[in-house]
Amino acid sequence: MDKRLGLEIENFLRTPSAGVGKIFNEHGLQLELGIYLRCLGYEVQFERPFKIDLRANSTKRPKRELDILVVHQGFKVAIELKTPLAGRVPETMYDFCADIQFVEQLIATEAVDSGFCLLMTNDRQFWHSDLRSEGIYGFFRSHAALLTGTVGKPTGMRDSTVILTGSYELAPSWKTLGNSNLMANARYLLVPILRSV
């Protein structure tokens, strides 16, 4: 189901159906994507609560609610969303890494079978390679950077870390949103999270 659902999400982002409205924030994306998937026959649950323990060596408190849980024929897929439109670039990058950790933990505890983290934005600071590319920026902007292991909080007290067990190539995965009806001049990053073998 991972590939099929991934293709369905890609279809939503590239060629949304006529009834899909413009996306102005994360909640709008959550509802539009969830309704779209529900219309395709998937069971969709919004803001599904989960209790996850703090991951060893991570100091970032785990989330308590999943943006979207998709269920189909007993197979469960977690979806976490980010739609940054008003700054907070390094903080949102870090929050996206924390979303990946959260989905990894849901998979590790067998609460879900797999997952996706989706970031959709029209802010070029998230993907533009001519901008700063050290630290957390490199994961999102540099094709040479592989996101894995310990990721530190990039701003403020810098007193928080997330630990990722998987490896993710983010920068090469940016795609242009196929239809400006959803959001003008936007790109998206869809990251599949799979069970470790």
Q: What is the pLDDT of residues 51-80, one digit of tens each?
A: 888 777 777 777 889 999 999 999 999 999
The mean pLDDT of 113-129, rounded to a whole number, is: 93
Q: Are 94 and 82 in contact (CB under 8 A)?
A: no
Coil, helix or strand at residue 83? coil
Q: Which two tokens stand for residue 39?
A: 């219309």
Coil, helix or strand at residue 65? strand
Q: Which two tokens stand for residue 143?
A: 């094709």
Q: Which residues are CB-contacts of 167 (< 8 A; sequence separation ≥ 6)?
A: 146, 147, 148
Closest CA to 5 of 194, 196, 197: 194
Q: Which two tokens stand for residue 129?
A: 């390679």
Would you say residue 81 has pLDDT above 90?
A: yes
- Distance in angstroms (rounded) separating the CA atoms of residues 79 and 100: 10
The mean pLDDT of 18-39, rounded to a whole number, is: 92
- Distance in angstroms (rounded) separating the CA atoms of residues 161 and 25: 26
Poorest-pLDDT segment among 83-87, 120-124, 173-177: 83-87
Convert 109-164 into a string of H (helix), E (strand) and C (coil): CCCCCEEEEEEEECCHHHCCCCCCCCCHHHHHHCCCCCEEEEEECCCCCCCCEEEE
Would you say residue 197 has pLDDT above 70?
A: no
DSSP conformation class of 186: -
Q: Are 187 and 140 in contact (CB under 8 A)?
A: no
Domain locations along the chain? 2-193
Q: Which two tokens stand for residue 16?
A: 């949304």
The mean pLDDT of 132-148, rounded to a whole number, is: 90
